Amino acid sequence: MRNRSMLLICLLAGLSISMAAQEIRGDYLETRSADVYTGQCFANGEVNLVGKEAILAWHVQSGSWNGVSLQGLTVAAAVRANGTLGDPYEDPYPAKAVLLVDDQATVPQQAALVNFAKRMGGELLNNVEQVIPTQMELVVNAEHHGAAMLRAGRFATVQTRSIGGQDHLCGNEVTFYPPLTELAHSMPAVALTDTYNGPGLGVSWDLHGKRSAFVGTFSR
């Protein structure tokens, strides 16, 4: 009986180690072409007019996906939907997406990054028009909440800062739209720069100073 108990303990310990080894975590950055931190009046003024575009980016601090280590690598998605993302009264699908994957990744790692992004993005990333390996950098400033920077080659650039008193325009602001993917933690931020100039979506954008970003962390 004692031997069976010890065997069970060893099996459970091995399972815990295996599950821990498969955990993947890191930093997340998102921008939208509509304010996500806003008041009802501002949101009503933007809905159906803007908010169809988004950039989602993940930087893996540690962990693996499908048995492939992705530590230190970054993947981003530029998205063009059919409606304002997050609007409960409009169906934004099907959406188009372009995936920007870290050119420092090996071929198996690039495949794992694509699979990871599609899993995290769900239906939003069902229709990937192109996968483009490029130089990637995503940095979140731990000392300044909401401050982050993404550079994806010549295709996308995002820089954010925290929301301050000067960003309360009507006094009734809330996080009006939630992030587009499941996160461990997130906070709204101001997108000082939000640009996409690449193929696959039939549109590019260059936005500045909108309360349209999320900075956060993910863990699976």
Domain segments of the chain: what residues? 24-219
Q: Where are the beta strands (DSSP E) in 40-184?
A: 53-62, 64-65, 68-69, 74-80, 96-102, 128-134, 136-140, 148-152, 156-161, 174-175
Residue 171 is predicted with a pLDDT of 66
> Does residue 148 contact residue 142 with C-beta atoms inside 8 Å?
no
Which of these, 168, 186, 219, 218, lies nearest to 32 by C-alpha position? 186
Paired strand residues for 194: 158, 207
The residue-averaged pLDDT of 170-189 equals: 89
Residue 48 is predicted with a pLDDT of 63
CA dist 29 and 31 (Å) reads 7
pLDDT in tens, 76-112: 999 999 999 988 888 899 999 999 999 999 999 999 9
Residues 212, 217, 220, CA angle at the centre, nearest 5°?
Answer: 130
> Does residue 77 contact residue 122 with C-beta atoms inside 8 Å?
no
Residue 5 is predicted with a pLDDT of 45
3-class secondary-structure state, position 147 = coil
Q: Pull the structure tokens for residue 127.
A: 């229709």
The amino acid present at 157, given as its one-letter code, is T
Mean pLDDT of the chain: 88
Residue 75 is predicted with a pLDDT of 98
pLDDT of 194 > 70? The answer is: yes
The amino acid present at 30, given as its one-letter code, is E
Residue 143 is predicted with a pLDDT of 75
> Taking the model in full, what pTM does it have?
0.87
The residue-averaged pLDDT of 53-73 equals: 98
DSSP letter at 125 equals G
211: pLDDT confidence band, cut at 50, 70 and 90? very high
CA dist 23 and 63 (Å) reads 5
Residue 145 is predicted with a pLDDT of 84
